[in-house]
Structure 1
Amino acid sequence: MTGEGSTGVGTRPEVPEEHLAGYARCLTEACATGRRLTRDELDTQRAHGELAAEAGIGLRSLVRVLLAAAEDVRPSLPGTQTGHLLSAAAQAVDAFAEGHERAQRLAIRQEEAARREFIDDLLYGRSDLGRLAERAERFGLLLSHAHTVAVAEGPEPYADGYAASRRIEAALTARFGHRRILLTTKDDRLICIAPGDESEVVTYFAKQAYAATDGGRVGIGRPHPGAGGVVHSYEEALGALDLAARMDLEGPVLHAADLLVYPVLARDRQAMTDLVESALGPLARARGGAQPLIDTLAAYFDSGCVAAEAARRLSLSVRAMTYRLERIHTLTGYDTANPTHRYTLQTAVIGARLLGWPGEGL
């Protein structure tokens, strides 16, 4: 349907006639008696609205055509009936719009379900790789390339549609346009999958995620190629967040590449357990238990083995800090002034954190 409408809104959009089938007759019959549209008539208009939405016809265009078609009916009505035309048209347009919106909501839900299924298959390494690659292109990813995954967690859970998630997505879109970036949520975390050679994307994502939640942390995996590479990078990002929690690591952004030593140390659990028991076990005999002295060692090593800085971090006097280090030497036989002893103690402290000792036992 084309041509100039008498509504003064310009050229009518293209709308197939089947979406308007029975519309003019419905209005004419309603105006004849001044009645409201029947349930069947409204259902028919809703169905036409759904079909129009499925055909990709926008609601604004559809309303313009419906109003113009109603104006086309006016000349055929007796003067006594024209006063009912606006009311009948309003009912019909409302039914059209309801059907159109219902179809749009269904399409959105189906798209969200497909996206969620794809994300689950991608991050858990499920599904045929060929089929997964085809589906990935639909969501803007080329799995033949390398990708980096960043995972953000905050004080409050992330979820699709939450204000924080929308703000971060809007910021990424404004900054990087329509690059091949996928943003999604999973397990109350916000996930960004970006091309592996565009590190500025995950860096900016981390900055925005930290600002949007007034805190929180972001783990960033290393870039890896292929569908399996996405899974690998995702697991590295999760591992970085887990290490940050267990090791009390500082900083809002944790790169898996900077933390590779920890998985190496944790790989032989029995050897690490033996080291912790041997080097730190005697600290359990101290008044107050082992934890205060382990915290002392951790602060000492984290401050570059500068006793004054470690004392400041622990809100102790330098004298108290020195006493604690001497007490550790007495109990364990390891002297922090000796490079070999210092390395053993530092490794044992890392192991204690990884193993959750002494709180969780060995």
Structure 2
Amino acid sequence: MTSKPKVAPVPDHDSHPARELPEVHRWLSSVRKITKTVATGRPLPEVLDLIAHTAALLMGYEFCGVLIPDPTRRALVIEGSSGLSAHYIAQVNADRPVRLDQAESVEAPSSAAFRTGAPVAIADIEATPQFAPWGGVAREQGYRSMISVPLMESKGVAIGTLNCYRRSVHHFADEEIALLTVLADHAAIALTTARLRSDETKRMDELVLLNEELHQQRDLLQKSEDIHRRLTEIALRGGGVPGITTALSILISRAILIEDNHGTVLGRSSRTEPFPDDRARAETTSDEASVAGEFRCHSVLLAESEVARIWISRGQSPLTSIEDRAVEHAALVTSLELLRSRTADEVRWRLHGDLLSDLLGGEPSAMDTVVERAGRLGHNLTIGHSMVVVALTGIEGELVDSCLQQAIGRINGWAETMTPQPLSAVHRDRIVVLIPDIGQSRDTLADTAEKIRVLAGSTVPKAVATSITVGRSAGLGDYALAHRSAVGALSLLALTGRSGAAVSLDDLGLVGLLLQLDDTEQLVQYADRVLGPVRRHDNTRGTDLIGTLRAYLACGLISSDTARVLHIHPNTVGQRLRRIQTLTGMDLTRPDHTMEIAVALTVGDVGDSSRTG
């Protein structure tokens, strides 16, 4: 049995103040140190360690610990200590926690003190079966007796325990327990104050952080508004997409390329930055963020549809939040600019379409105003023009209108770079372009017609564009006839399988000359007199003698070549030719009869195409 610690007795008239004062001063000094530590705002773990150290120092204990509930309030854990090893603390907290939810018969001394609010002392832990779960760690740490004193709030609620340990068996006397209780009360006040201060500090830190975040949000909003204002001003000043491209490049210090949904470049801030080529950009889907990890692609949406893309070059570091906001604002302003431009284009194209419709219709009442209206649109109809008419084939029916609009958009974009500007519009499911006569050579005009055909055919991969060029029209009345001739030529080319080319009416020789006749009725009558019986035979019998005749003439009157082209036996070709001779009363071995049949076939095609146009 160890001797009792020296404690300061309660003073009375018979006591000796000289012996009592040093002990009182020692206690007051220790309590004052705890109070000062709390007052200076030291961290809570430091306060708890000081409480444990003070208890050990004042009462002469080898080990002390301060236990408080964990966040779940299901166990007490050691948060402050004096003399206890880190290994012991870790073992108790992790493997042998002091549970608060166990039955009273098996609960630990600390949980009993916490639950009841009264001290619990064990003089010999080896003689106490209920301490068995902690016996191993107790022997490792080296203590034999312990006491757990609750830390009580003013409202009588326990907030933790002060545990004190001795190496030997020790009976805790009442006066010793009373002193520990006084110390525990001071410790509870210190713990409560430290917690309040800690909570207040946390709240202050949270307020400071919140204030900083609010300031950052305010700065972000101000910068965002400034970016939006700058980009909007550029659009309002008429800078268009090129101006937006340049402004965004300056704002985020990266090269920018903006293209529409057809792949046409609308703005480019740098001519040296190696952006992906047309094919690589076209193969990049809208939800892909980069190409080869070097370029970002940001969609520009209008009515939930992608109308353009913003390509952003690589940088030394990722985009900041404000730079991302700048890209978003640029996308918004770009979509509005494209909407404005699209609306203006639609109005202009409609006016062009109405003008061409009146010009090609040839109505006298409309012809009185076409020259003036064309002048207001920037076109001079007092000079001669060549006409290029383009037909698109191979397109599904529901896509025809959109493909024509895309094609005329490309052609108009090209026309705006020309001086003087050609007049172009969609007319009756075909594209008509009037090219001002400024002394172009025949080859130059052919190159222009091919350029127009390629622009129109690039809208859809499977589309086939065929163009026909009609030479110079001097008077307003010539345009209607020129258009009919061009439409007839396009129909004839489609009929004879010659689609997908740029052809001049002059290239068609006799056919081209016949197409320019104002009245084709005589041609139709002539063709019907010569080949009418053959056509009627095909219609009633379901044969294709006309097709055989066309192939025979194209193969130079050689039956074996005709059979190979038609994938039939030469004898079958002979039988069909004899049937044609019987129906027409003509001999295909005679050159004059053969020529008359060939002319009738051509004239019939011209007549049919003219009526179709």
Distance in 2 (CA, whole Å) between partners of 1:265 and 1:128 is 25
Cα distance change of structure 1 residues 218 and 64 upon mapping to structure 2, 3 Å threshold: closer
2:244 is equivalent to residue 59 of structure 1: yes
Query: 1:187-198 alignment to 2 at 5 Å?
Result: 189=430, 193-196=434-437, 197=440, 198=444
CA contact (8 A) 2:388 2:432 kept: yes
Q: Which residue of 2 aligns with 1:308?
A: 560
Contact in 2 for aligned 1:144/1:226 (Cα 8 Å): yes
Mark the CA change 1:332 to 1:283 in structure 2 (over 3 Å): closer, same or farther.
farther
- Work out whether residues 423 and 434 of structure 2, in 8 Å CA contact, stay in contact via their aligned partners in 1: yes
Per chain length, whose mean CA-contact separation is higher, i.e. which structure has more relative contact order (CA < 8 Å, sep 6+)? 1
Aligned to 2:370: 128
8 Å CA contact retained: 1:149, 1:220: yes
Letter in 2 for 1:201: T
8 Å CA contact 2:492–2:605 kept in 1: the answer is no
Q: CA–CA distance in 2 between the matches of 1:56 and 1:347?
A: 59
SS of equivalent to 2:466 = strand
Residue by residue over 1:143-197, the C-alpha shift from the partner in whole angstroms, topping out at 9 and shown as x without a partner, is 63533314141312433447x986x899x79xxx756565966365555554552
Q: 1:214 to 1:91 in 2, by over 3 A?
A: closer
- Does 2:464 align with 1:219? no
TM-score, scaled relative to structure 2? 0.38
Question: Higher strand fraction: Structure 1 or Structure 2?
Answer: 2
1:159 and 2:400 matched: no
Amino acid at match of 2:374: L
Alpha-carbon distance in 1 for matches of 2:433, 2:606:
27
Structure 1 residues 193 and 336 mapped into 2: Cα distance closer, same or farther (>3 Å)?
same
Distance, in Å, in 2 between the alignment partners of 1:47 and 1:108 is 20
* 1:256 and 2:505 correspond: yes
Aligned to 1:317: 569
For structure 2, the 5+ residue unaligned runs are 1-213, 253-319, 360-365, 609-613
Instruction: Sort the Cα spacing of 1:47 and 1:230 in 2 relative to 1 into closer, same or farther, 3 A.
Output: farther
Equivalents in 1 of 2:450, 2:522: separation in Å? 37
Aligned to 2:24: none
Extract unaligned runs of 5+ from structure 1: 1-29, 68-85, 357-362
Q: Map 1:50-199; keep pairs closer than 5 Å.
A: 50-57=232-239, 58-59=243-244, 97=330, 100-101=333-334, 103-124=336-357, 125=359, 127-137=369-379, 144-156=383-395, 157=400, 158-161=403-406, 178=418, 182=422, 186=426, 189=430, 193-196=434-437, 197=440, 198-199=444-445
Work out the number of aligned pairs and report it. 296
Alpha-carbon distance in 1 for matches of 2:324, 2:555? 74
Q: TM-score scaled by structure 1?
A: 0.59
Q: Which residue of 2 aligns with 1:202?
A: 449
Residues 387 and 470 of structure 2 are in contact (CA less than 8 Å); yes or no, is this contact kept in structure 1? yes
Q: Give distance in 2, aligned partners of 1:47 and 1:338.
A: 84
Report the alpha carbon displacement of residue 103 of structure 1 after superposing the two structures with TM: 4.8
Question: C-alpha distance in 2, partners of 1:150/1:122?
Answer: 16
1: CA distance, partners of 2:539 / 2:491: 31
- Name the SS for the 1:219 alignment partner: strand
CA shift in 2, pair 1:165/1:331, >3 Å? same
**Aligned-pair CA distance for 1:117:** 2.1
Identity %: 19
2:533 is matched with 281
